[in-house]
Structure 1
Amino acid sequence: MTLFDLALKNIRRNMKSYGLYIGATIFSIIIYFTFATLKHSDDISGLAETSKQMQGIMSSSAFVLMIFVAIFILYSNSFFMKRRKKEVALYSLLGVRKRAIGFLLFFENIVIGIISLVIGVGLGFFLSQALLSLLLKLMGLSLSVGFAFSMQAVIETVLVFFLIFLVTSLMGYRVIYQFKLIELFHAEKKGEEQPKARMISALVGVLSLVLAYWLALQDLMTSSAWRVLGLAMPLIIIGLTILGSYLLFNSVLVYILNILKRRKKWAWKGLHLMTSSQLLYRIRGNAKTLTIIATLSATTITAGGAIFGTYYNTDKSVEAVAPFSFMWEGEKQDMDADLVEDAVGFEAKDITVPGEQYDQSYYVIDEETFMKLTEALGWDIDDHELGRDEVMMVDPFYDEQMQQGREETVAIEGEEKKINQFYQDPIVNTPTLPGPTLVLDDASFQELDGENATYQAVQIADEKNHLDLSKELEANTDTERFSSAGQSYQDAIASSGAMLFVGSFLGLVFLVATGSIIFFKMMTEAEEDKDKYTVLYKIGVSKKEMKKTVRYQVGLIFLAPLVLGLMHGAVALMAFSSLLQANLLEPVIIWMAAYTVIYILYYAVTVRGFNKTITRNIVQEG
């Protein structure tokens, strides 16, 4: 039997152990191949004209994905090599030369890599069309594209992952030269020293997180912390968050478990004492893993929540800048009367008001026009007449955080006029009439000097499905001052849809990776603990009690980074929504719920695998 034959036999024999590793790797290859396909596809090159950011998004995402997948595969491979060290030691004890054992491990990794590549590229080839259709749907495009296949994508994917698997194979080859024979035999039994609870470290961890959260929630424009720290602020927040997370797991969790152990009523109930002791024994190694998982979870939740929130609120974002279906400068155009719900033709004057620091431009309309526009928009406004010394102001760009206080008067042609009413909701399409709008009484408007222009505001039904009408009206408009709510929505949904597609699949890869890392670690610990559970079974502990203990032990390892990741993500998204002045509560809850559900599924699979391992050992030991 050759080394290659032995490698194939070992893979078949260890397929259950390698199953999730291969599955997660295949999933990563599928996603990377999809991104590479979309990046190199001629159809996507055509789409790039519709969404200019498309190719840039795909290229940068493919690079990020490549780096992350490489780290994940290297990290995951180290867990399996630890489980193989005893087997390697047996080969060495039987007289097999180190070089031959190294080649055996090298062949195994290469074969697993080739199998994963073939399956991943094959499935990616068939799934790329479905993913492309999903992308087009998210972008709101009803385009017919051909089958998305690119030989460049295949070559790129094969090269990237072949290099990754080559590195992991070389790592396997070096294992036999790195350790002594006795170390290989006891590799699975080698553990961590039980850490001691340090009150100072626990306090520093909690204070680090509190400070990080406080800094994250500071207002960008008014906070003294931002003025002092400047561009270093995000790095400080990230550093404090990671430090606080690590100390929280390494010290606070240790402190809590030690307190629970000292409580006799809790400790001597069921297998609580054994569970807490096992967690304490491995806590130092787990702290690093849990910190990585919490950080990755927070990154995924924050990025995904922000992107999904932007996509979810596209309607509101467009309405905030374009309340009318169409608005343009010029004369009225012929349109289907059955389609038009409201149409307002009006005049506006462009004036400049001198200020202490800078001059401010305003568009001025009369009160009659204001009432017609508000009626067309469905505003509920009391009918009242403005005095000659009064004015109404509409400023959708007003920001209380950037402006210390709202002006109470405005000077028009040297005459101070009191601002009677102030509105922040837009009354006109800001791409057509950018800037604040003033409303004067009819007589004052007629007397006002300023550049006069005629505008048309049109409201139609189902504006999103009349892009052809939008293009026709724009073509017939002499000036560039044309705006279309339907076209603005299409542009926004195309950009945010592409981002949502990329963010969702990158998030899925991160989620699969984090879940797999915990699974690998817990299954390694299941192999280490199976003999202990067998002894417990022989002295009378029921399988039901052991399964309950496993649920608690695995649950803590899964729950701790999830809760912390959700907390980090929630604070980051609160800061993001405050910066954008947008309500992201509903989309963020939906995104977090979806993330949690998938995470819980991983927990269920891990508990099942852990129980299966110890149950199988109990049956074998009799």
Structure 2
Amino acid sequence: MLFFSLIFSVMVYYSFTAMTYEQPLIRGAGKNTQLVGVLGFGSFAVVLILLFFMANTNRFFIENRRKDISIFHLYGLNYYQICLWFILELLFIGVFSFVIGIGLGILFSKLFSMILVKAMDLPLQVHFFFSSDAILATGLVVLFILAVVCLQILWLVSGYKFSHVKKARLRNIQAMKLSSWQKVMAVIGGMFLLTGWGLALTYISIARKVSDQLGLIQGNFLLMSIIFLLCVIGSYLFFAFTLRWYNSFHPKRLDKNLGMLSRSEWQLRLFSEWRFLGSITVSLGLALAILGGMAALASIEMRSVNEIAPASLLITRESYQKLAPKLESVEPYQRQSIHFKAVPAKQNVEISGEGMNTQPEVMDMVSLSDYRAFQKTNPTLRDIQLKSANATVVLSSYQRYLNDYTRYSNRIYLKDKKLSVQASHPNFFGDTNLRYGTGMIVVSDQLFNETEGISYTIEAIDVLPQNENKLNQLVQKNVKGDWNFPIHYDLSWKNHQLMGDITQGAGTKKSDSTIYRSEYTSYQDTYRGTRSSLGLVLFVVTFVTTTFIITTASTVTLRRLSEFNQKRKQYRLLQQMGIPNQTIYQEINRENRVVFFIPALLALIHSVLAISVISHIAQNADYGFVYLFCGLMLVVYGVFYLFSSAYQKRLL
């Protein structure tokens, strides 16, 4: 198990490092994607995981060889000779793991690169790649980790003397009893967990109140920190005291099938290993929560591709007129003209903790007929039925992230009209950089024609999928992509009246505000940029989380197998007393289940509730990927549990 985990970690680290030296991959990712930096962060995370695994495993091995250390002292070995013995063992394991891990990394690096290319959707052909620089970097990292663990050996061995055997027996006696203050801590641990979970389940209602008092960011950060601390402290107290108090009760059903023996063994383990079990629980929950946050971000950003670029090309009328004669090469294509007006308007928008925005601003107005025509191209737009002549529907950019924290007034004031807000929907009308305002309103055709404002037109062009690349190349050659078509305004609200105008051109006064529009938005450019960045981040986080899950499961397995060598005499004594093998096998399975699955299930609860908190902020995201990983964690722990149980039964 130790070899397996070290080999897997070395293989992953080498693969990540080798990809940072693979020039075709770096060039294909483009300048806008920080490929080397993100992969370097992934490599650093793998180093931390490997260091945690090695230090934790080494500490456990040394603790379980106290008698060996005492015997070495009896035979006349001094402190440095004993340390040298353990260090040579460690170096032997480390060198062989490094050699095998590098070999597998070289073999599987192409597979890692293929997965990354697929995740980023890059048009690249992956070839076999060997990097001596990556081997050197991996070797230096392994040497560093081994050096740190060697220092740990020097520190641990120096603290063990003959008295540790007697102290260990005394600790076993102490583990079976709980004092009054420990029972109080047991209750506090349970209350901390239940309070943290309750705050997570009722997060949005509490977050609104806290945000109103402290501010949106500060309030949410404080509430998340409180939930995190309650779950972390509660997890440690749960293993240190709550479970121990629960195990101190002896119901009658424990009299059968060695139930009392199982409770006693679990009590001793909780007394000595509560820090380890608590750390595993918190780390697994945090890793899955981070993966959930990244999966939510990736899901929302990939969905936003169709929101930003609902057509193959959105382009200004002026730039389209220059491009139109050259569009024959991408025929057949569909074209639709969408007419807008930039108008001065005022609507009160309140965001929890950030106050209310009461200042007039520029809004983009579109007619209901144009909205419905564009809805045929962009089916994500909701159906709208205006109930009166002055009714309007607001398309808001806040709906995707801060819907639960945002409140809109039911009136919008224009210069000479007052509109009634019928509903507010997410703004899926294309890239906001192509328009002037941050807000957008849909009104009746009559009201659109009667309202004065700066008129402009955007052309939506849709081509066949096989012509997307040709259209994109045509646009890049003929359209500069500049920010142009400025307008300026100086608006105010006085005596319940909207004052000021919007004028074309850049402003000349200090009080004027100037807005520019971009020339076009391409679906292919938007998709490639978003997919490459998010695919890279999700690839790294996924592999780091997988590595962490496997190494933690390996750590638990190593502890179980190492402990079993000491308990084998106990089980054989039970066999000699006439206890059936099937009953002993049930006892082995029971001990393994509590060690493997109680931390995993507690971590699963933490992560699911953390994802529910994230879902209140990042709505409409797809969390199926992270729930799949939660199931994968249980599968991995189940496989290691079955392996441990089968191996222990074989040793009897």
Which TM-score band applies after superposition, normalised by the shorter structure? 0.7 to 0.9
Tell me what 1:544 maps to. Answer: 582
C-alpha separation between the residues in 2 aligned to 1:215 and 1:382? Answer: 36
Contact 1:299 1:569 in 2 (8 A): yes
Tell me what 1:255 maps to. Answer: 245
**For residues 12-411 of structure 1, what are the structure 2 equivalents within 5 Å?**
20-49=1-30, 51-96=32-77, 98-172=79-153, 177-181=158-162, 183=164, 191=172, 193-197=174-178, 198-216=182-200, 218-219=203-204, 222-224=208-210, 227-228=213-214, 230=219, 231-259=221-249, 261=250, 263-264=251-252, 266-312=253-299, 315-330=302-317, 331=320, 333=324, 335=327, 342-354=334-346, 357-378=358-379, 388-398=389-399, 399-404=402-407, 406-411=408-413
Contact 2:120 2:532 in 1 (8 A): yes
Tell me what 2:501 maps to. Answer: none
1:363–1:136 Cα change, 3 Å: same
Moved more, 146-155 or 246-255: 146-155
Q: Equivalent of 1:575, from 587, 605, 613? A: 613
The CA deviation string for residues 174-224 of structure 1, in whole angstroms up to 9 with x for no partner, is: 665543357579989985732545442222112212332344453496231
Tell me what 2:432 maps to. Answer: 430
* 1:529 CA drift (Å): 1.4
C-alpha separation between the residues in 2 aligned to 1:157 and 1:226? Answer: 50
Tell me what 1:517 maps to. Answer: 555
* 1:553 CA drift (Å): 1.0
1:467–1:207 Cα change, 3 Å: farther
C-alpha separation between the residues in 1 aligned to 2:85 and 2:64? Answer: 15
Tell me what 1:562 maps to. Answer: 600
C-alpha separation between the residues in 2 aligned to 1:588 and 1:84? Answer: 40
Contact 2:192 2:230 in 1 (8 A): yes
1:214–1:116 Cα change, 3 Å: same
What is the DSSP-based 3-state SS (H/G/I as helix, E as strand, rest coil) of the residue aligned with 2:462?
strand
Contact 2:28 2:122 in 1 (8 A): no
Aligned AA (2:293): A
TM-score (norm 1): 0.86
Contact 2:347 2:412 in 1 (8 A): no
Q: Equivalent of 1:500, from 501, 526, 538? A: 538
Moved more, 245-254 or 208-217: 208-217
C-alpha separation between the residues in 1 aligned to 2:192 and 2:156? Answer: 39
C-alpha separation between the residues in 2 aligned to 1:50 and 1:143? Answer: 16
C-alpha separation between the residues in 2 aligned to 1:103 and 1:380? Answer: 71
1:370–1:317 Cα change, 3 Å: closer
C-alpha separation between the residues in 1 aligned to 2:263 and 2:603? Answer: 23
Q: More strand per residue: 1 or 2? A: 2
* 1:326 CA drift (Å): 2.2
* 1:24 CA drift (Å): 0.7
The CA deviation string for residues 558-580 of structure 1, in whole angstroms up to 9 with x for no partner, is: 11111110110011111111111
Q: Equivalent of 1:483, from 512, 518, 521? A: 521
1:485–1:23 Cα change, 3 Å: same
Aligned AA (1:394): L
Report the identity percentage.
20
Aligned AA (2:339): E
C-alpha separation between the residues in 1 aligned to 2:196 and 2:310? Answer: 39
C-alpha separation between the residues in 1 aligned to 2:591 and 2:212? Answer: 42
Flag structure 1 segments of 5+ consecutive residues without an equivalent: 1-19, 616-622
C-alpha separation between the residues in 2 aligned to 1:373 and 1:451? Answer: 21
Count of equivalent residues: 590
Contact 2:412 2:419 in 1 (8 A): yes
* 1:107 CA drift (Å): 2.1
Contact 2:281 2:600 in 1 (8 A): yes
CA RMSD of aligned residues (A): 3.1
C-alpha separation between the residues in 2 aligned to 1:146 and 1:359? Answer: 58
* 1:441 equivalenced with 2:444 (yes/no): yes
Tell me what 2:568 maps to. Answer: 530
* 1:77 CA drift (Å): 1.3
* 1:412 CA drift (Å): 2.1
